[in-house]
Structure formats: C-alpha cells, structure tokens
C-alpha cells in the first residue's frame, strides 16, 4: 500500500510539473522577476552609456519677480533629463511655438503675499514635475507671508509642524507595530494565493478523473484512503516545488543583477568594497524566524485539511464548473476568517477570551496563532491545543472523509461518457514512451540540482541565527570561526542528502544485491591513484595556459583558525564530507538512476553534474575527468567504496598540506605515504596491462541493464524538454559566471 501511494504521488507530481501550463506559468514568472529586479540596473547601464530614447524635458520659467527661480533651480540641478530656462513673461505661448518636451510656467505676484501661477504645455505633464513646481510655489508664498508679517521662515515652518505623540502601552507589546502589520498582511496574501492555486488544482483533477472514470481503475488497486492522501500530497508537493522555483527566480534575478553591476557599472572595483554581507545577516530576526516556522507548520496542516475538504466536495459534483464553485466557497470562508482575525488580533490591544477560543479551531488557527505569536500574545497552552486540533482534524478527515470521497467519485449520474482514445501505431507509442522517459531524466536531474542550489545558498544564512546562541552555550570556548564552519558543514550535508533522496525515490531498486569484493576495490583504488595524479598534472598545465589555475582556497583565507578543533573541522569540511556526500549524491544516486538508459550516458551525465556542482571553472575540468574515472570504477566494482576512498585521498592531501603547512616533518611523511601509494598503483597498472596482453577494455566487467526498448529509441534530446532541467542549466550557468567574476576580482 505504501509503495502504491508513493508511486501515485511521484506520478502526479511529475505530470503536474511537466505539463505545458505549468511551464508557461513559470516562464512568465521568470520573465516578470528578471525584468522587475533588473529594470533599474539596465536603465543605469543605458544612462551610463549615454543611450537616450527621448529628449530632455525643458521647463521654461516666466518669473519677473524672481519668486521661485532659485528654489526650483536648486531642486532640478541634480535631476537627470530635465533643464530649467528663464524667459521674459511678455511672450504669448501657442500650439505652434511650444515643443512637446517643453513646460511653460508663468508666475506672477498678486498683492503683498499671494502668488498666481499658470502651466502651459502641449500634452499632460507628469505629476512629478507638477509636484516640484508646486513645492517651489509654496516655499515662495511662505517667504512672502513671512516678510509681510515680519517673522522668520523657520518660525513659520515650526508653527505648522505636526506635534509628535509618543505612545506607551503597558499591557501589550506594541514595538515595531508597522513591521508586524506588514508581515501579517504579506503572509495572509500568500495564504490566499496558495489556497486558490491548490484548491483549484484539486477541483480540476478530481472532476476530470471522475468524468473520464480513470479513478475507478485506480481504486481497484488502492484504498480510497490511500488515494485521497496521495492526491492531496501530490498537489501540495507540486505547489511547494512552485514556491522553490519562484525563490530560485529571485535568486537568479539578483545574481544577474550583480553580474550586470560588476561588469558594466563597477568593473574595476574590489569585491570587498562592494559586497557587504552584513546587510544579508541583518535581516535575520529571531522573532521573524519563529513566526515563519509556526506559520509554515500551521499552513501545511491547514492546507492539508482544506485540500481533503475540496476533494470531497469535488467528488460530489458532476462537472468542473461545479467543482470551481466549491473552491470559491472555501476561499470565501477563509476570507471571512481572515477579516475576523484582523479585528480580534491586533498589536494595539490585548486579545479577548473569544480570540483564544477561536484561535484553537482548525482553519481559523492558521490566521490567529501565527499572528498572535508575532505580536507576543500567544501562550504555550493555546499553541499546543491548536496544533493538536489540526493534527486530529487531519486524521479524522482522512479516516471518515475517504468513504464519502469514494462514494462521490463512483457516482456517475449525469456524466457524459468520453470517446475512447484511438490506438496509436507501435512507433508512435515508442516515441511517446521515449519522450516521457527521457524527459523524466531531465525532471529528476533538474529538480535535484535546483533544490541543491537553493539549500546551498539559503541554509547558511538561515542557520546564522544560531551563531550567538551556540557561542554563548559553550561560554566562548568555541570560536565564532569554528561555529561558522560547523554551520557550513551542516548546510553542505543537508544540501546534498535531500537531492540524493529525491533521486533515490525515482530509482528502481535492484532485486539482487551484489557482494562487494574488497580485494577488487583495493586494486581499483591503487590503479586509479596514478591516473588521477596524471590527470591533475595535465589539467593544471592546461589551466595555467588558459589563466584559470586558481582555487577558492587560494583566493580566500577561510581557514584562519589554527586551533586543533579548527584543523579537524577543516579536514572534515574539505576532505571527509565531500568524499561521503558528493559520492552519495553523484555516484550512488545519479549514476544508479541513469545507468538503465545506457552506461556511457550514465557516466557522462553524472560526471557533468559532478563538475557543475563545484561552480568553479578552475575545478570543473578536473572534476569532470575525475568524475568519469570514479563512475567507471563504481560500475566495475559495484560499490562506491573505491570512489569514496579516491575522493577522500585526493581532497585529504590538499587539506593535510594546509593543516601541516608549517610542519616539514609531517609534510614529508604525508608525501612519502602518497608516493608509496602511487608506486603501488603504477605496479598494478603494469600488472593489468601484462595480464590483458595490452588490451585494456574500459567497460569490461560492467553490468549493463538489459533495456531493449530504450536501445531502439535513444532520444537523449528529450531530456531538454523538461522545464526543470532547463531552469537548472540557467541557474548553474549564472552561478558559474558570478563565481568566476568574484574569483577574478578577489
């Protein structure tokens, strides 16, 4: 049962993500984000290069008494695209002698302290220019009034200033009221957007499945409870992926914005002078993190409840239109609850008993509890009761709602039968199978890489809030540098484990477990060490010729803590963890997932991925070749032990050189050990050449999965048909360009 639920979830998520409407929506979102974030920067670039699309605006001022000229001139002198000209006021302005880019301002003094003004133009004038003119006129009028009544301008302005009121409310926490209102509003807008998308999708899917009777066949192999859970979870997971994509669009847009600024607006300026990371960490507020954590948990539980209710209501309808009306009802109910929460929960007054009672009611708790946490009005008993009520509601709805759902979807009254689909020819069927399967490769690779990038970029900054608490917990015995390293280690592990788990979910498990031959593993390790060293030397020479022979460890002194703990953490971060978790993700997950589509394809694709996730041109070439070597020995040995060991030895050597850079004896010992291993490897290579009589077969002893259908239609181009894969490529290229520019200006 569990495997069937997982299969349905995977199928539905994959189908939703790869649908044309999802792709169109995401292309629009990507374009809107890129334009919105980069519009001002592109405008600055055009200004910098003196690219003009229209004439400058000219204000012609007729001011014989010189009432506003000086004030207006001071205001406009720093504004691009506008100039001020003064003329005599005895000229008559008509349609024939006024240009489209000209604004005529006529100012005359009336009486002792009054001013008359007139604006003439060919067309409407921007409110920005009118406001500037109006401000100058107001200042001139104040000056005349002050002279007439023999008082100073300062005294006049002070007399008309608003009186500041300082408010102190003793019974409630009203600090940062505007900020809290803003966060509450943003969260609730997000809720309505999520509800509308998810509930509409559920209504549409259930209605279509009911009309086509496809659900009837599904319910013969799985319980109604399992199907209901699978359907709800798959749609919710789809939306979570949509949120991930949206965040990645923002990251991509800001990266492109940074690239444009560095290349066009400040190409010769040091990175240290322009990148201030304090601005990133300063936005991390502990209270906001707690608020969003509570809000996210309540949102997930409530969305699950509403999704089940929507599925039940949709099962009772006879067409898609009726299901849409049910969605409107649920959204309206949520809107009413939200409006009620805005009246009852506010940082300007203490909550009532009724507020606490209604905050424990499922669905309503999503609007009440997080907001009350944000403004400091929630208590632990209330949160526990509200959370338990949500969890219990989820369980009861699944248990008792499943039968109602089944009875509804199996009721086919007044539903028109759809015509049977015509059978396609065998070749067309194979083409569809190939397209679906190979685009599935793109989907899995794309999603895993996107989540890897998102976690890599986001986790480090999110976990920074624990810096000070950890430092205080150990009474300063662990330095801030080491705490930062620990946080980076945690981020690194999570960012590789989660993508690996996603790939594992789509990998067919082998029924036969191959026994690991330790002797063969040792042989492959020794054989590969001289090869890896030789590749490293050749690649180093090539990169030196290309001017790319640098590494981030040479550019940035990350490991400046020389304590024992600092050195241990350095070895763990540079050598041990990459060997374990990069091999887990690339060789254990990606290589196993792709090998059924062809051995060469699996080796090349996994090696490309291995090189890309380093995001560093100076490492990519060597990482790609090393990835090919490690993939081959993984397939030959049937284990990641050899690739893990080689990876550890390669990275470990660099780490040990840095750790013992001032200890010549240890460096001699380390070099001696590595030389012995290299010599043993060369002996093994010679032995293998003699044994095989000079015929070295790279792919010998590699088990290839028998998949005759895919051998006939190797349409690898279909991988690029998946939107997730294309987005992952764009994000990786952008990150690579950003990292390359950073390394070149450091």
CB contact at 8 A, 631 and 606: yes
Q: Which helix (H) or strand (E) segment is 353 a member of?
A: helix 353-358
Rounded CA gap, 691 and 687, in Å? 6
Instruction: Report the 10 Å Cβ neighbour count for 63.
Output: 22
Q: Which long-range contacts (CB under 8 A, 24 or more apart) does 167-172 make?
A: 169/348, 171/350, 172/347, 172/348, 172/349, 172/350, 172/375, 172/376, 172/377
Q: What is the pLDDT of residue 733?
A: 85
- State whether residue 62 is helix, strand or coil: strand
Ranges of H-type helices in 692-722: 708-712
Mode of pairing for the β-strands spanning 82-87 and 102-110:
unpaired
Question: Band of the pLDDT at 50, cuts 50, 70, 90?
Answer: very low
Question: Band of the pLDDT at 746, cuts 50, 70, 90?
Answer: low
CB contact at 8 A, 124 and 82: no
In degrees and rounded to multiples of 5, residue 211 shows phi and psi of: -65, -45
- Of 672, 682, 637, the closest CA to residue 534 belongs to 682
pLDDT, tens only, 169-224: 444 455 556 666 666 677 677 777 777 778 877 777 777 776 666 666 566 667 77
Q: What is the pLDDT of residue 626?
A: 92
pLDDT, tens only, 382-433: 999 999 999 999 999 888 888 888 777 776 444 444 434 444 455 566 666 6
Q: Which helix (H) or strand (E) segment is 58 a member of?
A: strand 57-63
- How far, in whole angstroms, is CA 525 from its chain's centroid? 38
Q: Which long-range contacts (CB under 8 A, 24 or more apart) does 322-328 make?
A: 322/207, 323/203, 323/204, 323/206, 323/207, 324/200, 324/203, 324/204, 326/203, 327/196, 327/199, 327/200, 327/203
- Of 555, 30, 38, 36, the closest CA to residue 258 belongs to 38
pLDDT, tens only, 57-83: 888 888 888 888 888 888 887 777 788
Residue 610 has pLDDT above 90, yes or no: yes
Q: Which helix (H) or strand (E) segment is 661 a member of?
A: none
- State whether residue 125 is helix, strand or coil: coil
Q: What is the pLDDT of residue 582?
A: 94
The phi-psi region of residue 638 (left if phi > 0; otherwise alpha if psi is between -120 and 50; otherwise beta) is left
Q: State the DSSP string of 249-307.
A: HHHHHHHHHHHHIIIII-TTS-HHHH--THHHHTT--HHHHHHHHHHHHHHHHHHHHHH
CB contact at 8 A, 109 and 124: no
Indicate if the alpha-carbon torsion angle 625, 629, 631, 632 is positive or negative.
Answer: positive
Question: Band of the pLDDT at 456, cuts 50, 70, 90?
Answer: confident
pLDDT, tens only, 281-324: 444 456 667 777 888 888 888 888 988 888 888 887 766 666 66
In degrees and rounded to multiples of 5, residue 613 shows phi and psi of: -70, -5
């Amino acid at each position: 049962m569990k495997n069937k639920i997982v299969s349905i979830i995977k199928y539905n998520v994959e189908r939703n993500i790869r649908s044309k409407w999802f792709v169109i929506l995401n292309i629009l979102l990507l374009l809107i984000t890129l334009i919105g974030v980069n519009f001002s920067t592109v405008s600055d670039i055009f200004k910098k290069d003196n690219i003009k699309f229209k004439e400058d605006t000219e204000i012609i001022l007729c001011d014989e008494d010189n009432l506003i000229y000086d004030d207006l001139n001071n205001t406009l002198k720093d504004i691009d695209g506008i100039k001020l000209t003064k003329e005599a006021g005895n000229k008559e302005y008509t349609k024939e002698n006024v240009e489209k880019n000209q604004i005529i301002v006529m100012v005359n003094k009336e009486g002792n302290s009054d001013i008359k003004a007139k604006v003439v133009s060919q067309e409407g004038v921007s409110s920005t220019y009118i406001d500037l003119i109006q401000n100058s006129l107001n200042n001139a009028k104040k000056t005349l009034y002050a002279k007439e009544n023999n008082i100073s301008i300062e005294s006049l302005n002070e007399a008309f200033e608003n009186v500041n009121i300082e408010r102190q409310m003793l019974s409630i926490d009203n600090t940062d009221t505007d900020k809290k209102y803003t966060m509450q509003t943003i969260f609730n807008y997000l809720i309505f957007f999520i509800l509308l998308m998810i509930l509409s999708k559920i209504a549409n899917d259930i209605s279509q499945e009911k009309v086509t009777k496809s659900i009837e066949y599904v319910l013969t192999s799985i319980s109604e409870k399992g199907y209901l859970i699978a359907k709800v979870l798959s749609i919710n997971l789809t939306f979570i992926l949509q949120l991930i994509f949206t965040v990645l669009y923002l990251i991509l847009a800001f990266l492109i914005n940074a690239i444009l600024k560095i290349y066009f607006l400040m190409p010769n300026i040091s990175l240290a002078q322009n990148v201030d990371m304090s601005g990133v960490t300063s936005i991390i507020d502990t209270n906001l993190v707690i608020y969003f954590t509570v809000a996210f948990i309540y949102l997930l539980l409530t969305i699950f409840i509403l999704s089940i209710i929507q599925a039940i209501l949709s099962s009772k309808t006879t067409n898609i239109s009726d299901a849409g009306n049910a969605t409107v009802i649920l959204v309206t109910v949520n809107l009413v609850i939200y409006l009620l929460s805005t009246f009852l929960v506010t940082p300007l007054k203490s909550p009532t008993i009724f507020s606490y009672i209604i905050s424990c009611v499922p669905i309503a708790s999503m609007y009440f509890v997080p907001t009350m946490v944000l403004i400091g009005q929630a208590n632990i008993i209330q949160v526990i009761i509200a959370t338990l009520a949500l969890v219990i509601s989820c369980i009861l709805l699944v248990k008792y709602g499943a039968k109602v759902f089944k009875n509804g979807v199996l009721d086919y009254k007044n539903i028109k039968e759809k015509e049977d689909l015509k059978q396609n020819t065998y070749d067309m069927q194979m083409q569809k199978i190939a397209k679906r399967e190979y685009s599935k490769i793109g989907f899995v690779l794309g999603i895993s890489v996107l989540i890897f990038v998102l976690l890599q970029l986001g986790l480090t900054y999110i976990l920074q809030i624990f810096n000070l608490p950890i430092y205080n917990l150990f009474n300063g015995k662990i330095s801030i540098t080491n705490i930062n390293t620990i946080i980076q280690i945690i981020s690194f592990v999570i960012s590789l484990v989660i993508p690996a788990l996603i790939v594992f979910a789509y990998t067919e498990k082998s029924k036969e477990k191959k026994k690991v031959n330790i002797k063969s593993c040792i042989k492959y390790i020794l054989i590969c060490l001289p090869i890896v060293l030789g590749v490293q030397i050749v690649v180093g020479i090539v990169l030196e010729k290309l001017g790319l022979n640098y590494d981030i460890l040479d550019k940035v002194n990350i490991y400046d803590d020389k304590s024992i703990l600092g050195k241990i953490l350095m070895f763990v971060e540079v050598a041990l963890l990459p060997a374990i978790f990069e091999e887990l993700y690339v060789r254990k997950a990606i290589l196993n997932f792709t090998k059924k589509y062809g051995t060469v394809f699996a080796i090349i694709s996994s090696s490309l991925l291995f090189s890309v996730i380093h995001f560093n041109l100076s490492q990519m070439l060597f990482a790609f070749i090393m990835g090919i070597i490690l993939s081959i020995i993984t397939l030959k040995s049937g284990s990641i032990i050899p690739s893990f060991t080689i990876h550890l030895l390669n990275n470990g050597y660099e780490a040990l050189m840095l750790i013992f850079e001032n200890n010549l004896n240890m460096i001699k010992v380390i070099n001696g050990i590595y030389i012995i291993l290299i010599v043993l490897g060369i002996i093994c290579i010679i032995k293998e050449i003699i044994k095989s009589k000079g015929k070295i077969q790279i792919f010998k002893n590699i088990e290839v999965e028998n998949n005759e259908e895919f051998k006939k239609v190797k349409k690898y181009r279909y991988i690029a048909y998946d939107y997730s894969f294309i987005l992952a490529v764009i994000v990786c290229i952008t990150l690579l360009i950003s990292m390359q520019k950073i390394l070149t200006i450091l």
